[in-house]
Structure 1
Amino acid sequence: MSVFSSHNVPAGTHLIEVAAVGYFFSPVRVDVSARNPGKVQAALTENRRGLNELVLEPLRDEQYYEIREPFNIMSLVKSPMGLMVGFMVIVMFLMPKLVENMDPEEMRRAQEEMRSQGVPSLANLIPGAGRSTS
C-alpha cells in the first residue's frame, strides 16, 4: 500500500487518475473548496459515490492482450473458402449420379446437338487473334 500526500492544492475541481500496471482504477473527482479552507470532497467518477477516505481499490485486472479463441471446426466450414470446398465436394459426388440417371437416348441427342452447333475455338473468341498481321 502506498501513501501519497499533496500540499498547496489550489481551490477548484481536480481529477486524480491512478496508473498501475495490471490494474484499472476509477478516476476520482476532488473538489477543493475556496470558501471553506481545508474542506475537500472526493467522489468516484464511475458511480459518483462520495468518499470519506481516499482509499482506492482496483475495479478490475487490466487485460493487455486479446485472448485467442480456441480452434473450432465450424469456423472453417462457415468461412467462404469452406463453403466453396463444400459445394465442390457435393457437386463432385452428385453430378455422376445425375448423369447415370439420364436416359441414354436423351444423352446421345444432347451430344449430337452440341456437335452440330460446334464449339467455338479460342481464336474466334479473341478479336484479332485469327487474322494474320502483315
Structure 2
Amino acid sequence: MRTTLVTALLSALSLTSASATSGSPQSQQQTTFTLWIPSSPALPNPNALPPSTHATLSSLQQTYTAPLSAANAFAFRNVTPGSYLADVHCGTHAFAPLRVDVFAGKAGGGEKKEAWTGLLVRAWETYRGNDWDNKGAEAPRSGGEYGRFPVRVLGPKEYYIERGSFSIFGILKNPMILMGLVSMVLFLGVPKLIDNMDPEMRAEFEEQQKNNPMNSLMGGGQQAGANPMGNFDMAAFLAGQGSKSEGESSSGGGKKGGKR
C-alpha cells in the first residue's frame, strides 16, 4: 500500500514539473529569423549567385549555418538567445557582416512581476576588427513575427590584379619628375626672357642684381659693405700664420725698419 502511494506521489510530481516546464519560457527560448539579399547596383540580379553561397551565424558557444534559398534568403531556425556575428560566404561577391542580438522581450515593470513575451531579434552593420560594443547602422526589420533583415552587398570580389602598363602620364605624375621639369624650364627660360626684355628694364634689373646682398654669400664680386671675413684664410690661421694682408704689412714694415 505504501509503495502504491509513493509511486502515485512521484508520478504526480513528475507531471507537475513537466507541465511547469512546458509552460515556462525556457521551452520557448528559440526563434527564427531570415537574412535576405536585395537587388542593388553592386548586385542587380541576386539570382546569379552561385549555389554554394551560404550564411553563418556564429558566437563563442555555437554556430548556425543556412544555405541560400530560391528566394535569395538565409533562414536561421531554432536560434537561442545571444549575440552573434552573421557572415555571408560567397565566391563572387562580398557582403557586409551583421551583428545579430537575440534576447527575451519583457513586459511590465515596477513592483509587478515582469512577464515573458518572447524573443526579439535586432541587427546592426559591423566589420571585423571593430569593437563589439560599437554598433553601426541598424538594419531595418520586416516580416512580422519572423524578422527579415537585408544584407548589404559590398561589391564583386577581385582575385587578380591587373598588370600595370607603361604610361607617359604616370611618369609625369611623379613629383620628382615635375620638379625637374620646372627647374629646367626656369633654367632655360629665364635667360631668354632677360634677353628679350626692354633695355631700360634690363638695366634696372641688372642694377638690382648688383645691389642684391645675396651676391656676397653666393661668391659675387667685392662690394661696398661686403663681409670682411670673406678673405679670411682658415688654414693659415690654424698653422699660426696671419692673413695675406697682415703678412704683406709686416714684410713692408720690416723693409722700412731696415732702411732706418
Query: What TM bracket, shorter-length normalisation?
Result: 0.3 to 0.5
Q: Which has the larger radius of gyration?
A: 2
Give me the TM-score of the superposition, normalised by structure 2.
0.28
More strand per residue? 2
